[in-house]
């Protein structure tokens, strides 16, 4: 594993701005990374403070649009735990957790669907569509994208992923739309609440994504969270498996690590865990050598994917309106 101390420091001039040489270096080092993602699918699990803070959300949306313009095919997967908690409290309904999982009875499941599908998903789609008609909101029950089964009877309508049907997602990608998926799972006996990290890993595995990115509120994976020098910059799949089995990870990080293992074991090349409170963390992680979070590779030598697929962006660009010119100028 590579740790924080080994991250290269970019040259900063006296007034705190990038020097000309540093600007040139950033642009040049981005080129192979742009080639790395062109024509490839990237699953982005969107969560944390960046979902609710306006400026941070705008920065994430700008990054998503930039990825699409660079030729990538982003798929957004989101939960909305804080929003669900707020709605439950507003309705004077109990908020219960057991072993980190929300206890979800029938009434709570209705609130989960109302909040994830009717509020969070629509707000995110609207934020992306300020740049043009480019995003389509979905939930896992649509076209049976996420097929679920009970996780634990004690948890009620909490489910685990039984199968992912990527047909509708692929159809949307083929016509240059960005799917935005709320993690409600379908079952013949009713819908289920699915952990968004888990759902993102399963979707990335099923669709054969090149990358999966988790946007959260911490800088990445720490081997010892109390010691910030133990931030892991790069790790292999085998190292993640050992971490998952170590019992030392926080309850919030465990689903992300398990989702990384699920995705990479199925053939996804890289997984990234980044801090969404860092503006534009998504493009900084993907397009710079140093990155800003943790990158997990299927193999130690998986730095740049040699499989370059040229993908025209003209169809997507035609969906954008003139507001795209505002990216980076806020």
**Domain range annotation of the chain:** 2-326
| pLDDT confidence of residue 314 | 45
Per-residue three-class SS string for the chain: CEEHHHCCCCCECCCCCECHHHHHHHHHHHHHHHHHHCCCEEEEEECCHHHCCHHHHHHHHHHHHHHHHCCCEEEEEECCHHHHHHHHHHCCCCCCEECCEECECHHHHHHHHHHHHHHHHHHHHHHHHCCECCEEEEECCHHHCEEEEECCHHHECEEEEEEECCHHHHHHHHCCCEEEEECEEECCCCCEEECHHHHHHHHHHHHCCCEEEEEECCCCEECCCCCHHHEEEEEEHHHHHHHHHHCCCCCCCHHHHHHHHHHHHCCCCEEEEEECCCCCHHHHHHHCCCCCCEEEECCCCCCCCCCCCCCCCHHHHHHECHHHHHCCCC
CB 211 within 8 A of CB 266: no
Q: What is the pLDDT of residues 228-280, one digit of tens each?
A: 888 999 999 999 888 888 877 777 888 999 999 999 999 999 999 999 999 99
| pLDDT confidence of residue 7 | 52
If we measure between CA atoms, which residue out of 123, 162, 161, 122 comes closest to residue 138?
A: 122
62-74 average pLDDT score = 94
- The answer as to CATH 3.40.1160.10 being correct for domain 2-326 is yes
| pLDDT confidence of residue 245 | 84
126-147 average pLDDT score = 95
If we measure between CA atoms, which residue out of 2, 30, 45 comes closest to residue 209?
A: 45
pLDDT of 32 higher than 70? yes
pLDDT of 309 higher than 70? no
| pLDDT confidence of residue 17 | 63
pTM (predicted TM-score): 0.86
């Amino acid at each position: 594993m590579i740790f924080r101390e080994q991250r290269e420091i970019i040259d900063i001039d006296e007034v705190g701005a990038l020097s000309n040489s540093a600007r040139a270096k950033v642009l040049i080092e981005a080129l192979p990374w742009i080639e790395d993602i062109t024509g490839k699918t990237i699953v982005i699990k969107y969560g944390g403070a960046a979902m609710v803070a306006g400026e941070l959300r705008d920065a994430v949306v700008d990054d998503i649009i930039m990825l699409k313009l660079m030729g990538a095919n982003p798929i957004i997967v989101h939960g909305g735990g804080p929003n669900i908690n707020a709605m439950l409290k507003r309705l004077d309904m109990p908020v219960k957790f057991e072993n980190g999982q929300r206890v979800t009875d029938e009434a709570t499941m209705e609130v989960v669907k109302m909040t994830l599908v009717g509020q969070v998903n629509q707000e995110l789609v609207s934020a992306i569509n300020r740049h043009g008609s480019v995003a389509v909101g979905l939930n896992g029950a649509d076209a049976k994208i996420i097929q679920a089964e009970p996780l634990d009877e004690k948890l009620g309508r909490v489910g685990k992923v039984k199968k992912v049907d990527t047909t509708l997602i692929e159809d949307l990608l083929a016509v240059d739309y960005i799917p935005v998926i709320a993690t409600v799972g379908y079952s013949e006996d009713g819908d289920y609440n699915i952990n968004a990290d888990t759902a993102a890993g399963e979707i990335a595995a099923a669709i054969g994504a090149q990358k999966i990115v988790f946007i959260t509120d911490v800088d990445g994976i720490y081997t010892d969270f109390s010691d910030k020098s133990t931030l892991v910059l790069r790790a292999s799949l085998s190292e993640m498996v050992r971490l998952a089995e170590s019992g030392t990870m926080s309850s919030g990080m465990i689903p992300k690590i398990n989702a990384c293992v699920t995705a990479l074991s199925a053939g996804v090349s890289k997984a990234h865990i980044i801090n969404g409170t860092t503006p534009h963390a998504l493009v900084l992680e993907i397009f710079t050598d140093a990155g800003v979070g943790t990158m997990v590779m299927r193999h130690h030598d998986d730095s740049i994917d040699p499989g370059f697929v040229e993908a025209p962006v003209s169809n997507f660009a035609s969906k954008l309106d003139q507001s795209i010119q505002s990216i980076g100028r806020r």
